[in-house]
Amino acid sequence: MNHRRALRAAVTIAVTGALAAAMTMTLTSTASAGTTLRASAAEKGRYFGAAVATGKLSTSAYTTILNREFNSVVAENEMKWDATEPQQGRFSYTGGDRLVSHAQANGMSVRGHALLWHQQEPGWAQGMSGSALRSAMINHVTQVATHFRGKIYAWDVVNEAFADGGGGGRRDSNLQRTGNDWIEAAFRAARAADPGAKLCYNDYNTDGINAKSTGIYNMVRDFKSRGVPIDCVGFQSHLGTSLAGDYQANLQRFADLGVDVQITELDVMTGGNQANIFGAVTRACMNVSRCTGITTWGVRDCDSWRGSDNALLFDCNGNKKAAYTSVLNALNAGPAIPTTPPPTDPPPTTPPPTDPPPTTPPPGTAGCSASVSLNSWNGGFVATVKVTAGSAGTSGWNVGVTLASGASVTNTWSATASGSTGSVRFANVDYNGRLGAGQVTEFGFQGTGSGAGITPTCTAS
């Protein structure tokens, strides 16, 4: 009893302290007083989202909370591989489309989850391996990302590909066994299919600096250094009764690599610490300017995959829990994402001319050169072509390649292809034809068959 009274007293002091802190915060320039999660997050340039089981969209007790509190949604299951391609080459988008419509009608953005994951593979893919699986998985990424093109804020392109435990390496799966480059191949295919979506890698047990998060960190750093298109990392954050002390530092180290970070599947075991942990996670996100949003994995406790953990912000009757208030306060107290990044360097001064201006006018045809970097696997490839303008710049360019026999182009981005086998030409699109002297642009294409021997030649106009 005494024990319980002491606990209650401690909680009262803590709450009073928190109130005082909140009141102090309202005096700071960044504090605001949004009264819903979505309004508060939006004021800070962020989203607040929930995983949705689309079947519940016809339950008004559910949609009332969803529409009032959340401005982002993710399908809990309906955009996964088993749901979207139940038989090979036969696609089904009913659930995903329904969620997108709901989002569009209610001012919500959509996270796409997940193009590739070793779980919830359809049965036909579970039985596949090698180059057949590689082609099937790239086709899946291409088809699904194309179907939803323009409607997805961020895709979890690959989910949970790293192993638990101390090694920091990849998880074994039939996808991984198609070759270590399967993740980058998936990201390139996703970029080709929907260039406007942010492309994320998403995983769990990454809540702090540990072997697994460091393995992922090294992959992201490698991708950034080689130009593999990755824009964000999702931290699922299925949490227990404590939070790693370096949770925020871990988010920050990823952000420092030049990617956005997002909390993608937040839920927290019930117990004394639940509200505090929800608040601490929210504060950590707010303190990292590249943390663009938070998603809880469900709406009410009874919607959660964690069942009796009561792991969410609303109880089964839809009432706001203490954890809700803790999150709302943290959103209101946090800084906004700067709309224009603060200048970090002094503005560039015009460099002095290093070369004398040409005394003779450039020849009538401006030159350009092209080089290719290939990412090949058995049965397919992705080619990234770098176009460099010559000394006179370009107003347009055209790149020719000759493909090996049996190879064909299946997808092109940032260029328009003519032909798909043999001699194929790629012309600039509207926005990347005009290049200054020495300026560089990139386009890419994906193909089946062998990418061997591709040597691009560039003609400028």
Residues 138 to 167: which contact ligand 9MR by CB under 6 A?
A: 159
Q: Are the C-beta atoms of residues 381 and 404 closer than 8 Å to each other?
A: no
Catalytic residue among 76, 78, 121, 265: 265
Name the residue nearer to ligand 9MR (CB basis): 236 or 296. Answer: 236
Q: Which is nearer to ligand 9MR, 164 or 222 (CB)?
A: 164
Query: Which lies closer to ligand 9MR via its Cβ, residue 236 or residue 414?
Result: 236
Residue at shortest CB range from ligand 9MR = 305
- 265 is known as an active-site residue: yes
Q: Please, which residue, 69 or 76, has the CB nearer to ligand 9MR? A: 76
CA 118 vs. chain centroid, Å, equals 18
Binding string to ligand 9MR for residues 234 to 263, with x set by CB under 6 A, is what?
A: --x---------------------------
> Of the two residues 204 and 278, which places its CB atom closer to ligand 9MR in the complex?
204
Site track for ligand 9MR across 362-401, x = CB under 6 A? ----------------------------------------
Q: What is the DSSP string of 153-174?
A: SEEEEEES-B-SSTT--BPP-T
> How many residues belong to the site for ligand 9MR (CB under 6 A)?
9
Q: Does residue 301 touch ligand 9MR according to CB under 6 A?
A: no
Comparing CB distances to ligand 9MR, the nearer of 184 and 203 is 203
Q: Output the smallest distance, CB 427 to ligand 9MR, in A.
A: 41
**For the chain, what is the largest distance between any 2 Cα atoms, rounded to a whole number of angstroms?**
95
Residue among 76, 78, 160, 184 flagged as catalytic: 160
Write out the binding residues for ligand 9MR, residues 162-221 only, by CB under 6 A.
Answer: 204
CB-wise, 199 or 330, nearer to ligand 9MR? 199
Number of H helices, E strands in the chain: 12, 17
The answer to whether 192 and 412 have CB atoms below 8 angstroms apart is yes
Residues between 34 and 63 with contacts to ligand 9MR, criterion CB under 6 A: none
* Residue among 319, 236, 240 nearest 272 (CA): 240
Residue from 77, 92, 210, 459 binding ligand 9MR (CB under 6 A): 77
C-alpha distances out from residue 383 to 111, 272, 317, 442, Å: 28, 53, 53, 10
Minimum CB distance to ligand 9MR, residue 116 (Å): 12
We find the least distance from the C-beta atom of residue 301 to ligand 9MR, in angstroms, to be: 14
Least Cβ distance, residue 119 to ligand 9MR (angstroms): 5
Site for ligand 9MR in 95-134 (CB under 6 A): 119-120
| Contact (Cβ atoms closer than 8 angstroms) between residue 34 and residue 40 | yes
Q: What is the DSSP string of 43-79?
A: HTT-EEEEEE-GGGGG-HHHHHHHHHH-SEEEESSTT
Rounded to whole angstroms, how far apart are CA atoms 445 and 447?
7
Backbone dihedral angles phi then psi of residue 449, each to the nearest 5 degrees = 85, -160
- CB 100 → ligand 9MR: shortest distance, Å? 18
Closest Cα partner for 257 from 286, 288, 285? Answer: 288
Q: Which of helix, strand or coil describes residue 115?
A: strand
Tell me the closest approach of the beta carbon of residue 204 to ligand 9MR, in angstroms: 6
413: which strand partners?
Answer: 444
Residue 85 annotated to the active site: no
Structure tokens given for 132:
């057949």
**Which is nearest to 144 in space by CA: 104, 169, 112, 188?**
112
Which spans of this chain sit near ligand 9MR (rule: CB under 6 A)? 76-77, 119-120, 159, 204, 236, 265, 305
Catalytic residues: 160, 265
